Amino acid sequence: MQVLITGASRGIGRATAQALAPEHEVAVGYNESESAAETVVDEIQEAGGTAMAVQADVSDSAAVEEMVETTVETLGGLDAVVNNAGIADPARLTELDDDHWQRVIETNLSGAFYVTRAAMEHLQPGGDVVFVSSIGGTAGTVDTSYAASKAGLHGLTRALAREYGEDGVQVNAVAPGPAETDMNDDILAYLESVDFRGHENVDTHLPEYACEPEAVAHTIEYLLENDYVQGEIVDVNGGMQF
């Protein structure tokens, strides 16, 4: 299987590329961090796998089209796409100006739409789309733009599962709770700075609740390798409820 993973130079995307690489050929999507993406590619190749780095800002639909075409030409096809690239830039509602809101929505929601639209024509029966959402998309979080963008991914998941299920393409999402990545560190620092600790929706970001990125990666691997899970939002949160 040839798999394109966006935002794969670090964090959950990197763990996913490494989890998939022994069995599958992977395109390591990145935006700014070329050297980090090349490091992931080198690690995979040194372990005997096949990988390439491919650049695009996912919020730029023309760049995304090029990224998908480059992936198809280099790997010889595309069987699956993992929409992992995302940002969290928390702000209180009244401090969230239009540009800030649009940057988060354009990256997290429109970016996943652009990538999936470009990839879909290449996917064959048995192909997969996975969106990396968040517990914030179902339960909400103290971060309006992020929660809204992730809830939007749940709509994309269910709509595309209906639209493409008959073509044999599986469309699912994983909704992680906190994972130990740079993003979660940034969120924690923000929450400390605005003194939100003690609020039950906030304490779920604390390190003691967090999983390793590999826990999310292996759930994505399961979804890619299972042909009978369709239109699901799979929680990966250790049973966390809030």
Tell me if 9 contacts ligand NAD by CB under 6 A: yes
User: Which amino acid type is present at position 177?
Assistant: G
Residue of the chain from 18, 110, 145, 184 that contacts ligand NAD (CB under 6 A): 184
Q: What span, in angstroms and rounded, lies between the C-alpha atoms of 133 and 175?
A: 5
Residue of the chain from 81, 132, 173, 223 that contacts ligand NAD (CB under 6 A): 132
Rg (CA), the chain: 17
State the nearest-atom distance from the C-beta of 181 to ligand NAD, in Å: 3
Tell me if 90 contacts ligand NAD by CB under 6 A: no
Close Cβ partners of 165 (under 8 Å, ≥ 6 residues apart): 171, 230, 231
146 is catalytic: yes
Residue of the chain from 1, 38, 61, 87 that contacts ligand NAD (CB under 6 A): 87
Residue of the chain from 3, 4, 5, 12 that contacts ligand NAD (CB under 6 A): 12
Dihedral angle sign, alpha carbons of residues 7, 11, 12, 18: positive
In this structure, how many other beta carbons lie within 10 angstroms of the beta carbon of residue 34? 12
Tell me if 84 contacts ligand NAD by CB under 6 A: yes
Q: What span, in angstroms and rounded, lies between the C-alpha atoms of 80 and 76?
A: 13
- Report residue 12 as tokens: 């959950």
Residue of the chain from 25, 28, 54, 86 that contacts ligand NAD (CB under 6 A): 86
Q: What span, in angstroms and rounded, lies between the C-alpha atoms of 40 and 43?
A: 5
Residue of the chain from 78, 79, 176, 220 that contacts ligand NAD (CB under 6 A): 176
Tell me if 127 contacts ligand NAD by CB under 6 A: no
State the nearest-atom distance from the C-beta of 102 to ligand NAD, in Å: 12
C-beta of 7 vs 152, nearer to ligand NAD = 7
- What mask of x and - would describe binding to ligand NAD in positions 35 to 74, judged by CB under 6 A? ----------------------xxx---------------
User: Site residues (CB under 6 A) for ligand NAD?
Assistant: 6-7, 9-13, 31, 33, 57-59, 84-87, 107, 111, 132, 134, 176, 178-179, 181-184
The catalytic residue positions are 146
